[in-house]
Amino acid sequence: MSETRRIIVAITGASGTILGIRLLEILWGIDGVETHLVMSPAAMRTLPIETDYSVDAVSALAHRTHSFKDIGASIASGSFRHEGMIVAPCSVKTLSAVANCMSDDLIARAADVCLKERRRLVLMFRETPLHAGHVSIMDQALRNGAIVMPPVIGLYYRPQTVMDIVNHLAGRALDLLGFDAGTVVRWNGQPKRSGAD
């Protein structure tokens, strides 16, 4: 019998909570995957502004939900085996905590554990424009081992809706943990024009 593949999804208060929600929806449909969710208090405030989801509805999309302040949760320990963690969206506060090893909440603690255990940590940093402090903490988070993946929109696949963009970005984040979600439009090279070499 194959081992359950666990993934941690964290949602912070930055704009873009739909990214974390869509990740949970996609992962729910993959056999053998168990999701662990942590939402910050700021995420719970942002959620109803940006979406029609309630906190309870988002929590129901995860196999396990952990309290933001429960630093004694399973995911706070390096002995808890999992495939990695995606913070979607990732706020400046959370990026700063990862960069500076500040573990005073469960999102920051679970992220720090990922790095010390050499597991994948994907930070979908949602801020623009950037000042020098943002660039500096992105650099430090990268040096610590995180993958900083701002949800930058690609247009080569000609998205028609916001959800086309969300699906693509969620799929690209899951690519980094070794999951093909089936939502990424893959680039197969530019089509050759008739008569071109």
| C-alpha to C-alpha distance for 192 and 179, rounded to whole angstroms | 30
Q: Is 183 annotated as a binding residue?
A: no
Contact 121, 146 (CB under 8 A): yes
Q: Is 156 annotated as a binding residue?
A: yes
Q: Is 74 annotated as a binding residue?
A: no
Residue 90 parent element (H or E)? strand 84-90
User: Euclidean distance between the first and final Cα of the chain, in Å?
Assistant: 52
Q: Is 62 annotated as a binding residue?
A: no
Q: Is 59 annotated as a binding residue?
A: no
Burial of 158 (0-12, 13-18, 19+ CB in 10 A): exposed
Q: Is 184 annotated as a binding residue?
A: no
Q: How far is CA 166 from the centre of its chain?
A: 12
Q: Is 92 annotated as a binding residue?
A: yes
Q: Is 172 annotated as a binding residue?
A: yes
Q: Is 65 annotated as a binding residue?
A: no
Q: Is 53 annotated as a binding residue?
A: no
Binding annotation for dimethylallyl phosphate: 156, 172
Binding annotation for FMN: 13-15, 40, 91-94, 126
Binding annotation: 13-15, 40, 91-94, 126, 156, 172
